[in-house]
Structure formats: C-alpha cells, structure tokens
Amino acid sequence: MEGISFDLIVTIVNKGKAEKVVEVSKQAGAEGGTILFGRGTGIHEKAKLFGIPIEPEKEIVLTLIPRAKTQIVLDAILNHTDLCKPGKGIAFVLPVDKIAGIHHDI
C-alpha cells in the first residue's frame, strides 16, 4: 500500500438507500463499502406522525477508495442518487493518512 493515497467517501442517506450507493460505487470502480446505521437530526428531519415527532433512520456508507478513483466514484454516487435534493442525504470526502488491513490488489 506504500505510495498509494486513499480517501474515505462518507455517504449518509435515508434508510433503504445504502445498497444503491454501494452498487453504483462498485460499478464506478470501488471494491465495496461498509454500511452503518444511524438517525438524523438535521433541519429536514422534523417529520411527525399523528403529532408525534419521528426520528428518521439513516444509513452511512463508508467507501475507502484509492485517491485516483475518488472523483469518479463520488460523481457516480451523485448522479445515481437523490443527494442533490433537500433532505435526501449528503456525501463528503476525507483524506486518509494511514491504513491497515487491506490485502488485495489495487
């Protein structure tokens, strides 16, 4: 892994949408992703059911990607999800300084 720079694409979407993110990421060159579960507290998450506030469930997709593929995978996620619409989710990229445990060809 020496000499290869990595990024972490973090995509947060509404429950049930993470599989689509992983699918399009893999089609764009990622080898997979990790799905975590959470709940939202942003301005668009103030839905109520019979006057009772609902705390919407979220799915977080972590995609570790070689930096050379980051923009391609991020563009694929943005082009095949509703992230450009309010309340549908967010994606951002973090640089990764060190990694361990990756034992496959890149």
pLDDT tens digit sequence for 61-72: 999 999 999 999
CB 58 within 8 Å of CB 83: no
Residue 106: band (very low, low, confident or very high) from pLDDT cuts 50, 70, 90: very low
Residue 54: band (very low, low, confident or very high) from pLDDT cuts 50, 70, 90: low
Question: Can you name the residues that pair with 8 across neighbouring β-strands?
Answer: 64, 94
Please state, in angstroms and rounded to a whole number, the distance separating the CA atoms of residues 79 and 81.
Answer: 6
Instruction: Quote the DSSP letter at residue 104.
Output: S
pLDDT tens digit sequence for 55-102: 678 999 999 999 999 999 999 999 999 888 887 889 999 999 988 877
Please state, in angstroms and rounded to a whole number, the distance separating the CA atoms of residues 58 and 18.
Answer: 9
Single out the residue of 35, 82, 27 nearest to residue 63, CA to CA. Answer: 35
CB 35 within 8 Å of CB 28: no
What architecture is domain 6-96?
2-Layer Sandwich (3.30)
